[in-house]
Structure 1
């Protein structure tokens, strides 16, 4: 019978790196991991990390649809801006004629429904893209952002003035986006915020006194500027989405190749 001192001591070793002592176990499957195991997520083995990334759908489809919706919203903003400019240029002695005002109202009503539907589609498609992009970055170990917070912060007063930009900027930085191009993110957000502020100002003047030529002219000028800024914001957002998609594709390919090799 062996005494206690004669029982050999065996320390757990990593199954992927022979001879390397284990530093812990995978939080998902329980297998041993060592210091050489570099996976997308700390505390998760290479096999589980690879399965998490590979189980997610690619973002290219949502990227394409979000970009199409943004482009459609930019296109629809053009006739709205032109209509505002047309009525402003038709001012005679400080105000438009009754006939011109009626034509403006009719044309504006025709554009209202397509603009509303396009805006709703853009919101849904953009948020679907953002949610999957953040989820993929989390699986790659490149972000710790909550997908729920990243989505719903757009609808929380005051937080929606800065948090959406932080989410996209953190996603950009985590994926290794070049710092010199981060100014594009700032430009996108600035034009978006200014567009909404000026639009609200124009609507306030329009409601204040529709019979007042000064209120009407300020409302029309605000509408022109707001639509122009919204077009610029849409174009910049499309570029931001495209850049993040390129970074996601590259990081995902690198991670899948590394993790697949580690599991062989």
Structure 2
């Protein structure tokens, strides 16, 4: 059995990075909204591509460019830290409790496997949360409602991002550009909500694990003695 490692500093670093990500995502959402407002002034059937420079959309284009450039490196750093956080918190959960179905390695790999990525990362964090709440009796606990809302927002963000990207490639009229911008803006807003909920999730798990580490919590050995026995 390995020693549990604190995740407080890692959580703090992740919070800072995600805060920057929220600002950049909100900037993109605003940029798409402004771009949609400009495109709506054109004749709906006018030939206008998503990548065309529209007259009066300079502010929107500048906002989208700056926010997009910020999102790329910040997103990469945030993604790395989130995977590291998932790995370490899951490893800690294995120190605190028995019977977890997901290993620390799979806490990372599930994110990259098609179809499984739709539900397995949620299962990983759910196990970590429940094991932190009640290490000896975590299995019967229901998934926290906050966790469900986060995952729903995450899936919505992914769906809107895919839809917006596909629509952007095929948009050829002003009306299609407006719809594309609205979908893309909605995707960015969904990402903001998803990130805020994720911050709430890790903010709940971190102090629970910190307290268990301070108590010197270790999972009971696999014997015939019930885990609740003195």
TM-score by length of 1: 0.71
Higher mean C-alpha deviation, range 87-96 or range 200-209: 87-96
Aligned to 1:111: 67
Assess, with a 3 A threshold, how the Cα gap between structure 1 residues 74 and 143 changes in structure 2: closer, same or farther: farther
What corresponds to 1:206 in structure 2?
Answer: 168
Residues 34 and 57 of structure 2 are in contact (CA less than 8 Å); yes or no, is this contact kept in structure 1? no
1:64 counterpart residue number:
12
Whether the 8 Å CA contact 1:81–1:224 is kept in 2: the answer is yes
Deviation at 1:142, TM superposition (A): 4.6
Q: Could you tell me how far apart the structure 2 residues matched to 1:256 and 1:188 are?
A: 28
Other-structure match for 1:170: 127
Q: In the TM superposition, what is the alpha-carbon distance from 1:257 to its structure 2 partner?
A: 9.4
Q: Does 1:98 align with 2:54?
A: yes
Counterpart check, 1:154 vs 2:111: yes
**Is the Cα–Cα contact under 8 Å of residues 192 and 229 in structure 1 kept in the other structure?**
yes
- Quote how far apart the aligned CAs of 1:143 are: 5.5
Which residue pairs with 2:228 in the alignment?
A: none
Q: C-alpha offsets along residues 150-200 of structure 1, whole Å, 9 cap, x if unaligned?
A: 111101111111000000011111122696881100000101110110121
Q: Are the aligned partners of 1:143 and 1:170 in contact in 2 as well (CA < 8 Å)? A: no
Aligned-residue RMSD, C-alpha: 2.5
Q: 2:25 aligns with which of 77, 101, 105?
A: 77
> Matches of 1:126 and 1:196 in 2, distance apart?
17
SS in 1 for 2:87: helix
For 1:160 and 1:69, how far apart are their aligned partners in 2? 23
Distance in 2 of aligned mates of 1:196 and 1:94: 31
Counterpart pick for 1:255 among 211, 216, 230: 216
Preserved CA contact (<8 Å) 1:142 1:175: no
How is 1:1-264 mapped onto 2 (pairs within 5 angstroms)? 52-53=2-3, 56-90=4-38, 91-94=40-43, 98-101=54-57, 104-142=60-98, 144=100, 145-176=102-133, 182-209=144-171, 211-256=172-217
Change (3 A) 1:182 1:133: same
Query: How far, CA to CA, are the matches of 1:160 and 1:153 in structure 2?
Result: 6
When Rg is computed on C-alpha atoms for both structures, the one with the higher figure is: 1
After superposing on structure 2, the runs of 4+ consecutive aligned residues of structure 1 that deviate more than 6 Å are: none
Residue in structure 1 matched with residue 225 of structure 2 by the alignment: none
Q: 1:258 to 1:104 in 2, by over 3 A?
A: closer
8 Å contact kept, 2:93–2:132:
yes
Tell me how far 1:99 sits from its aligned partner.
Answer: 1.9
- Residue matched to 1:29: none
Indicate conservation of the 8 Å contact 1:188/1:236, yes or no.
yes
Deviation at 1:203, TM superposition (A): 1.4
Which runs of no fewer than 5 residues in structure 1 stay unpaired? 1-48, 260-264
- What is the alpha-carbon distance in structure 2 between the residues aligned to residue 166 and residue 181 of structure 1? 9
